[in-house]
Structure 1
Amino acid sequence: MIDISESVMQFLLAFVVVGPLLGAAAALLPAPPGLKGKSPEQAVLRHGVTVTGVVLIAVIALALGFDHDHPSKMQATTDISWIPALDVRIHLGIDGISLPLLVLTALLTFLCALYSYFKQQHQRLTPQAAGPTPKAFVALMLVLESGTLASFAVLDLLLFFLAFEMVLIPMYFLIARWGGEGRTQAAWRFILYTLLGSVVMLLGLLLIGIKAGTFDMVALATDNGRSLTTSVQVIAVLAIGIGLAVKTPMWPLHSWLPDAHTAAPTVGSVLLAGVLLKMGTYGFVRIILPIAPDGFHTFAPYLAAFAVVGIIYGSLACLALAKQGAKGDLKRLIAYSSVGHMGFVLLGISTMTPTGVNGALFANIAHGLITGLLFFLVGALKDRTGTTDLDTLAEETGAALYGKAPRLGGLLAFGAVASLGLPGLAGFWGEMLALFGAFKPAGDLSRPAYLTFMAIAAFGTLLTAAYMLVVVRRVCMGAVPQEAPHLADVHTYEFAAWTPLVVLTVAAGLWPKALLGLTDPAVQQLLSGGTR
């Protein structure tokens, strides 16, 4: 920890939230300030790298200045009255739950900006980019970053809703204008599902604020539901939970996700899987669990049931896509795997125990690192072969990555084994702790039911291993055809964008205490009666 004054910490957090918005406005100017590239496209993409890099540095400074001895305490707090009539305040702050998500968001956005810039330099923008300009692309990406960071930093229910909604329009345009085949339909499906869920969520947030007399999340969490009747809590949890479940996404509200991922450009898929899905599960932990504990207790077994169905459903869908002759899309397969992985997160939250909730938060970060890496790799594979169809990659193109592009094949295999939860890598700890939490849920939850859920989820880990190993065998292994087209191995700029994700996946797997030491005290306090 570095000794940084509270005022500097407040400034850094405010900058992290507002800085990307200022950068987005600057990106739309005729020439980004102080940046002279060989072309306007190169200049604006470099501007994106600069802004996201500065935001990442600010987040790292926040992490270094964070008081790691008291991670349950809200730090770098700003509390200013905004709409007095509604008692809405600009209330910002971070604790051990939100800090890792801020770092993950800033890192992934910076890596996406870096990847886009060097990819443009390496192969130049194709004619496809003649319609939507890089200016719009960079501006949308920065607005998306600002909304996501704000979601993890704000401590007012209405501000959380505004930040939650702020990311929808940028992601819609990223899919609709830079996506692949079927992008228009996928973008509409994404926006309609998430907007409808958000309308219901807003009603639940307003109900809590009106009945409790405040929208302040810290005050509400400290009150721990004492000012809300059980019936109000049940209605609020149902309404807010639906909106959060759509964004997570929870089965059966997941059907927008595979289409969105399949159609989205590479960086869109990375940000969607690595960052946006975390907003839903974060809302369960930050809002529902401490503010309406009695209402959440009512729905916890149902949430666990939906979670384990999602685990099995996602795994079976992946197995079907991986099967020979199924014409399965690799991006679609990874999207369905996200449904299963987020099922473990929801299962951990539903246990209402420190073990389960810590497992959920750990699995959140692990999923962002690993799935972000996988989407980067699949995007690179599509750039080289022109397809993500598994049958085409395995038979017609004869990918055989171990022989033709060994480093790319090795990274894909690493991502696959990390995703299936290999011990020693980040994916293992979150799933294991979620299962431990289900083994011994909160005292007044049905233990036989949760033991059943645990057994089903454990079976899901076997299915995950099965489909990931099938993918590795079909794409990476096999004899290299004699007249096989040349397949470029990993480029330097790709190494630069992917290496941090690989390193952090290994580091989190070998040293889980670094993350659990942050989240556990905050979770313990959240479950026992709020955040001070």
Structure 2
Amino acid sequence: MTTLPLLTLMMVVPLVGAVVIAALPAASAALAKPIALGASLVTLVLACVGWAQWDAAGPQFQLTETHSWIPQFGVSYAVGVDGVALALIVMACVLAPVCILAAWNDLGEGAGEDPKRTKTYFALMLSLLPFMVGVFAATDVFLFYVFFEAMLIPVYFLIGLFGGPRRQYAAMKFILFSLAGGLVMLVGVIALYVHGPGGADGFLVEKLIGNVGGSVEAQRWMFLAFFIAFAIKAPMWPVHTWLPDASTEARPATAVLLVGVLDKVGTYGMIRFCLSLFPEASAWATPVITVLAVISVLYGALLAIGQTDMMRLIAYTSISHFGFIVLGIFALTSTAGAGSALYMVNHGFSTAGLFLLAGFLIARRGSKRIPDYGGWQRVTPVLAGTFLVAGLSSLALPGLSSFVSEFLVLAGTFQVNKPAAVIATLGIVLAALYILLMYQRIFTGPKPNFTDRTAPLDLSWREKAVVIPIIASFLVLGFYPKPVLDLVNPAVKQTMDIVGASDPAPTNAGSAK
């Protein structure tokens, strides 16, 4: 086992890459893209080394590093990962180079590019990666909060500087919602230190678990402070309204990193902090959160059906999917918990497929409106086929990745809350509607009236290189999810033990007499 500080290196490498890109002279701006891609690939290799070193029988947090930072306030630079955090970090490190490659020509090609904008764009994209790693790896609550807030900065500028016509409105709405949630969580962070064990390392998660004092009411208020911030980030109904605007105005690669990775901080935080630090409050709030999760499932799906903007449609599907994830987390069963952890990974890849392929379509047609398409499978068959596979994965077709996670969430929820599971199952039917209707309107029908000179080209070699790993993830995690489940199951079990939840005993008709 290597003694290298892998998690720190996973943050330093992309950060150094972003600084190098920003420092490039205008004459060398073309190097921004290969530097960004190279730094992200090195980070992916480091993430794979960390996965290879993972020991399922080992301690809860592994690859740990702890250094005193602000001992007067109990703050440490402490990083480490359990199985859920490691799975999300690996997913982020896979999607980062995919998104950089997808964004290769976002700002034009060759002489049409503005060197300054190119440098800024790829430096900002690469600078997201250390925050994505850090926010999942932080095992000090205050350090987590620092990463939680810092990751807003590059996203704000990616939307505000490089987004669509309403980019400034979308960027401002995103930052205001996120900062509001962050400020509420800061109150909880301060209260946590006051009621925690204190000391020079008083914010360490391992030290806080089981040692958060204060009255029952105080713990419930702290729980709510954290949960509200995570619900905004997730996003859950009714604090979701920033997401459709941000996703629609952001460039597709930015939307993938925002929805596919950064929004997972919300659901990951519910597991890491809400359940682990406030088990009694989590059980107390579970009935209300379950209702909100079911509403999110149905609300997101119903609004997706009525959208004419394909990027906005995909954003609403994510609200529905996050409802499933939250439902599984607060079902408080190991089956649903494992399903939610796997769902976070699968949703990242399925959303990436939809957003990026939609971006390829928009780049060819110049429009996000679904009615402006029709019959495109006759001129771009590879693009149509890959879009269909991404859509089928999103609607949880058996054999593709999302099916396993969605089935586990519903099965685990059914063990303890049959009405919620039955109602949430309607989301699967609605998913088939919004995905298949979108595909039908865009790709089927008579051939468009393109001449040979104006007909759009099918996927290029670069775009195929973007799509191949995503499609591969659908198939691998659809037919063989065991490696990821083996990774997340110990963490889920440890969380269930902390909460004091146990799976219901199996029943059968013969035993009830």
TM above 0.5: yes
Alpha-carbon shift at residue 73 of structure 1 (Å) = 2.9
- Tell me how far apart the structure 2 counterparts of residues 75 and 21 of structure 1 sit (CA, whole Å): 23
- Tell me how far apart the structure 2 counterparts of residues 330 and 113 of structure 1 sit (CA, whole Å): 22
Letter in 1 for 2:74: D
Summarize the alignment of residues 23-172 of structure 1 with structure 2, pairs less than 5 Å apart: 23-31=17-25, 40-70=28-58, 73-117=60-104, 119=105, 124=109, 130=114, 133-172=117-156
Letter in 2 for 1:390: I
Alpha-carbon shift at residue 440 of structure 1 (Å) = 1.8
- Tell me how far apart the structure 2 counterparts of residues 186 and 159 of structure 1 sit (CA, whole Å): 28
Alpha-carbon shift at residue 529 of structure 1 (Å) = 2.7
- Tell me how far apart the structure 2 counterparts of residues 126 and 202 of structure 1 sit (CA, whole Å): 47
Could you tell me which residue of structure 2 aligns to residue 209 of structure 1? 193
Determine if contact 2:378/2:447 at 8 Å carries over to the other structure.
Answer: yes
Q: Establish whether residue 181 from structure 1 lines up as the match of residue 168 from structure 2.
A: no
Q: 1:125 to 1:198 in 2, by over 3 A?
A: farther
Select between 250-259 and 507-516 the one with higher mean Cα deviation.
Answer: 507-516
For 1:97-154, what per-residue CA distance to the aligned partner results, in whole angstroms no more than 9, with x for missing partners? 111111111111111122333x369x60686x64961221122112211111100111
Q: 1:30 to 1:467 in 2, by over 3 A?
A: closer
Letter in 2 for 1:437: G
For 1:192-225, what per-residue CA distance to the aligned partner results, in whole angstroms no more than 9, with x for missing partners? 000001100111122112201221112223x2x5
Could you tell me which residue of structure 1 aligns to residue 13 of structure 2? 19
- Tell me how far apart the structure 1 counterparts of residues 57 and 446 of structure 2 sit (CA, whole Å): 55
Letter in 1 for 2:179: L
Identity %: 33
Which one of 231, 235, 241 corresponds to residue 249 of structure 1?
235
Select between 105-114 and 477-486 the one with higher mean Cα deviation.
Answer: 477-486
Q: 1:120 to 1:317 in 2, by over 3 A?
A: closer
Could you tell me which residue of structure 1 aligns to residue 423 of structure 2? 456
Could you tell me which residue of structure 1 aligns to residue 503 of structure 2? none
Q: Establish whether residue 517 from structure 1 lines up as the match of residue 486 from structure 2.
A: yes
Could you tell me which residue of structure 2 aligns to residue 324 of structure 1? none
Q: Establish whether residue 191 from structure 1 lines up as the match of residue 175 from structure 2.
A: yes
TM-score (norm 1): 0.89
Determine if contact 1:132/1:177 at 8 Å carries over to the other structure.
Answer: no
Could you tell me which residue of structure 1 aligns to residue 440 of structure 2? 473
Determine if contact 2:192/2:212 at 8 Å carries over to the other structure.
Answer: no
- Tell me how far apart the structure 1 counterparts of residues 215 and 477 of structure 2 sit (CA, whole Å): 41
Determine if contact 1:179/1:263 at 8 Å carries over to the other structure.
Answer: yes
Letter in 2 for 1:77: T
Alpha-carbon shift at residue 308 of structure 1 (Å) = 0.8
SS of residue in 2 equivalent to 1:438: helix
Could you tell me which residue of structure 2 aligns to residue 428 of structure 1? 403
Q: Establish whether residue 374 from structure 1 lines up as the match of residue 354 from structure 2.
A: yes
Could you tell me which residue of structure 2 aligns to residue 279 of structure 1? 265
Q: 1:300 to 1:125 in 2, by over 3 A?
A: farther
- Tell me how far apart the structure 2 counterparts of residues 57 and 173 of structure 1 sit (CA, whole Å): 28
- Tell me how far apart the structure 2 counterparts of residues 351 and 99 of structure 1 sit (CA, whole Å): 23
Q: 1:18 to 1:232 in 2, by over 3 A?
A: farther
Alpha-carbon shift at residue 252 of structure 1 (Å) = 0.5
Structure 1: gaps of 5 or more residues: 33-38, 322-327, 395-399, 442-449
Determine if contact 2:237/2:292 at 8 Å carries over to the other structure.
Answer: yes
Determine if contact 1:45/1:116 at 8 Å carries over to the other structure.
Answer: no
For 1:62-99, what per-residue CA distance to the aligned partner results, in whole angstroms no more than 9, with x for missing partners? 111222443x5311111111111011111111121111
- Tell me how far apart the structure 1 counterparts of residues 175 and 208 of structure 2 sit (CA, whole Å): 30
Q: 1:483 to 1:491 in 2, by over 3 A?
A: closer
Select between 270-279 and 132-141 the one with higher mean Cα deviation.
Answer: 132-141
Which one of 452, 455, 462 corresponds to residue 486 of structure 1?
455
Alpha-carbon shift at residue 229 of structure 1 (Å) = 3.3
CA RMSD of aligned residues (A): 1.8
Alpha-carbon shift at residue 237 of structure 1 (Å) = 1.0
- Tell me how far apart the structure 2 counterparts of residues 319 and 174 of structure 1 sit (CA, whole Å): 28
Alpha-carbon shift at residue 383 of structure 1 (Å) = 0.6
- Tell me how far apart the structure 2 counterparts of residues 62 and 239 of structure 1 sit (CA, whole Å): 33
Determine if contact 1:317/1:336 at 8 Å carries over to the other structure.
Answer: yes
- Tell me how far apart the structure 2 counterparts of residues 270 and 73 of structure 1 sit (CA, whole Å): 30
Alpha-carbon shift at residue 427 of structure 1 (Å) = 0.8
- Tell me how far apart the structure 2 counterparts of residues 469 and 319 of structure 1 sit (CA, whole Å): 10
Determine if contact 1:312/1:460 at 8 Å carries over to the other structure.
Answer: yes
Determine if contact 2:380/2:459 at 8 Å carries over to the other structure.
Answer: yes
Summarize the alignment of residues 490-509 of structure 1 with structure 2, pairs less than 5 Å apart: 490-509=459-478
Select between 259-268 and 472-481 the one with higher mean Cα deviation.
Answer: 472-481
- Tell me how far apart the structure 2 counterparts of residues 167 and 460 of structure 1 sit (CA, whole Å): 31
Alpha-carbon shift at residue 426 of structure 1 (Å) = 0.9
Letter in 1 for 2:38: T
Could you tell me which residue of structure 2 aligns to residue 233 of structure 1? 219
For 1:470-493, what per-residue CA distance to the aligned partner results, in whole angstroms no more than 9, with x for missing partners? 011111111213545402101101
- Tell me how far apart the structure 2 counterparts of residues 30 and 98 of structure 1 sit (CA, whole Å): 34
Q: Establish whether residue 365 from structure 1 lines up as the match of residue 334 from structure 2.
A: no
SS of residue in 2 equivalent to 1:79: strand
Q: 1:356 to 1:31 in 2, by over 3 A?
A: same
Select between 275-284 and 209-218 the one with higher mean Cα deviation.
Answer: 209-218
Letter in 1 for 2:382: R
Could you tell me which residue of structure 1 aligns to residue 245 of structure 2? 259
Q: Establish whether residue 340 from structure 1 lines up as the match of residue 320 from structure 2.
A: yes
Q: 1:68 to 1:508 in 2, by over 3 A?
A: same
Q: Establish whether residue 387 from structure 1 lines up as the match of residue 372 from structure 2.
A: no
SS of residue in 2 equivalent to 1:133: helix
Determine if contact 1:426/1:509 at 8 Å carries over to the other structure.
Answer: yes
Determine if contact 1:132/1:178 at 8 Å carries over to the other structure.
Answer: no
Select between 250-259 and 45-54 the one with higher mean Cα deviation.
Answer: 45-54
- Tell me how far apart the structure 2 counterparts of residues 305 and 125 of structure 1 sit (CA, whole Å): 52
Letter in 2 for 1:304: T
Letter in 2 for 1:504: S
- Tell me how far apart the structure 1 counterparts of residues 277 and 111 of structure 2 sit (CA, whole Å): 50
SS of residue in 2 equivalent to 1:423: coil
